[in-house]
Amino acid sequence: MRILSIVLIILAFFGCHTKKPTAAAAPLPPLVEVSAAKVQTIPIFVPAFGHFVAYNSVEIKSQVEGALTQIHYTEGAMILEGEPVVTIDPRPYQAKLDLAVAERLQNVAQLNFAKEKVERYAGLVSDSYVSLLNFHEYQTQVASLTAEVEKNDSQIRLAEINLGYCYIRAPFSGLCGKKKVDIGNLITNNGDTLVTIKQLDPIYIDFSIPERDFFRLMQYQSTKDLTVNLHFPDYPDCDFIAELIVVNNEISSSTGMIPLRAIVKNPDRLFWPGQFIRTELILTKKPETVMVPISAMNSGQKGRYALVINDKGIAEMRMCEFGEILGDTIEVVSGISGGEKVVTNGQINVMPGKPVRIKGASQ
């Protein structure tokens, strides 16, 4: 009986000090990152990849045979138009020129004598002091020697041309490449290249765009000159603008691409032939365009949408039509106005019609 009384007392004690359960705390709204939709003018462009091509490029080759006696250029250095590049031993060609000049002098002397003979005997033919046959022979000799002098003139011109070929000069100002033949080597006119010269300012950019963009290209090019933005993948802050100058006269049937060519100034030689470049052919510019980060675009069963946070911090689902992509942003054709806040991160936890917490905003 005593034990029962003690148990009842202990139970009554703990029963009086047991806390009542409290109600569970309401869950916090999901935390999201937002960005304001911006209204701006955007370029409408066709992206492509291309490479630089020298404005002028020449492989210096010999047109005569002989020993290479002098190299006037410096590898990797600039050479101006008209400056000597190399010299091939001119002595054999100078001798041929001298020989042609001497033969002409000989033939001119004989021609003058033949002309005097014709003039002297012309008055004697009628008196039969000189036969008509002999007089015709004198006249024929004059004509023959006249032809020989003209032939000598041609030989002299040819010899002068070949002698000039011994002194090879730069056809334009440009940058010399690596030396391919050393002094003392026998040069033949079989097409071997002595050195390459390339003009780098200005410089071309060759690239191609898909056939599907052909009509848009023609449409915009008919109204204005088009430009090309140049981007280096490894140097995103280095952007340059080139001018489109050539649309090739056919579309490649094997690739379905249209070869294009642009030109850009290159005074500091930042661009090099063969160098890879990313291009954007600017067709036009579109003003008053609503742009949002690409991360704000979502896809659902009804189509693409974005989550917009209104002034009360409530999430709204907006079905949107998206358009052009520019970098990490995308055009909103309809569904969102400039200045509205769109969710860019944390969409998975957001329920339309429910409040959210905006990261970085005072709650």
- Residues 275-333 have pLDDT tens digits of 999 999 999 988 999 999 999 999 988 899 999 999 998 999 999 999 888 888 999 99
The whole-number pLDDT of residue 1 equals 47
Return mean pLDDT, the chain. Answer: 88
Is 264:311 a contact under the CB 8 Å cutoff? no
Domain at 91-165: CATH code? 1.10.287.470
Beta-bridged to residue 42, according to DSSP, are 286
Which phi and psi (to 5°) does residue 357 adopt? -105, 135
Is 324:41 a contact under the CB 8 Å cutoff? no
**Helix 132-165 / helix 91-122 crossing angle, nearest 10 deg:** 160
Is the omega angle on the peptide bond into residue 293 within 30 degrees of 0, that is, cis?
no
Q: What is the pLDDT of residues 317-354, one digit of tens each?
A: 999 999 888 888 999 999 999 999 999 998 898 999 99
The whole-number pLDDT of residue 79 equals 95
Mean pLDDT, residues 97-105 taken together: 95
DSSP annotation string for 145-203: HHHHHHHHHHHHHHHHHHHHHTEEE-SS-EEE----S-TTPEE-SSS-EEEEEEEEEEE
For the cut 80, the answer to whether the pLDDT of residue 68 exceeds it is: yes
The whole-number pLDDT of residue 267 equals 92
With cut-offs at 50, 70 and 90, classify the pLDDT of residue 116.
Answer: confident
CATH topology of domain 31-42+288-358: 2.40.420
Mean pLDDT, residues 118-147 taken together: 72
Least confident of 113-117, 245-249, 311-315: 113-117
Give 11 or 204, the one with higher predicted confidence.
204
Of residues 213, 294, 261, 239, the one with CA closest to residue 54: 261
One fold for 46-55+202-286 and 91-165:
no
Mean pLDDT, residues 125-135 taken together: 63
End-to-end CA distance of the chain: 63
pLDDT more than 70, % of the chain: 87
Q: In whole angstroms, what separates CA 245 from the centre of its chain?
A: 11
What the block records as the tokens of 71 is: 């190299």
The whole-number pLDDT of residue 194 equals 94
The whole-number pLDDT of residue 172 equals 95
For the cut 90, the answer to whether the pLDDT of residue 235 exceeds it is: no
What the block records as the tokens of 327 is: 């970098």
Q: Which CATH architecture has domain 63-89+167-190?
A: Beta Barrel (2.40)
Mean pLDDT, residues 121-130 taken together: 63
For the cut 60, the answer to whether the pLDDT of residue 3 exceeds it is: no
pTM across the whole model: 0.74
Least confident of 123-132, 202-211, 226-235, 326-335: 123-132
Which phi and psi (to 5°) does residue 93 adopt? -80, -30
The whole-number pLDDT of residue 93 equals 95
With cut-offs at 50, 70 and 90, classify the pLDDT of residue 129.
Answer: low
CATH topology of domain 46-55+202-286: Elongation Factor Tu (Ef-tu); domain 3 (2.40.30)
What the block records as the tokens of 89 is: 């031993």
Domain coordinates in residue numbering, the chain:
31-42+288-358, 46-55+202-286, 63-89+167-190, 91-165
Q: In whole angstroms, what separates CA 352 from the centre of its chain?
A: 49
Least confident of 3-7, 64-68, 105-109: 3-7
The whole-number pLDDT of residue 324 equals 86
Q: What is the DSSP letter of 138?
A: H
Q: What is the pLDDT of residues 159-215, one digit of tens each?
A: 999 999 999 999 999 999 999 999 999 998 877 899 999 999 999 999 999 999 999
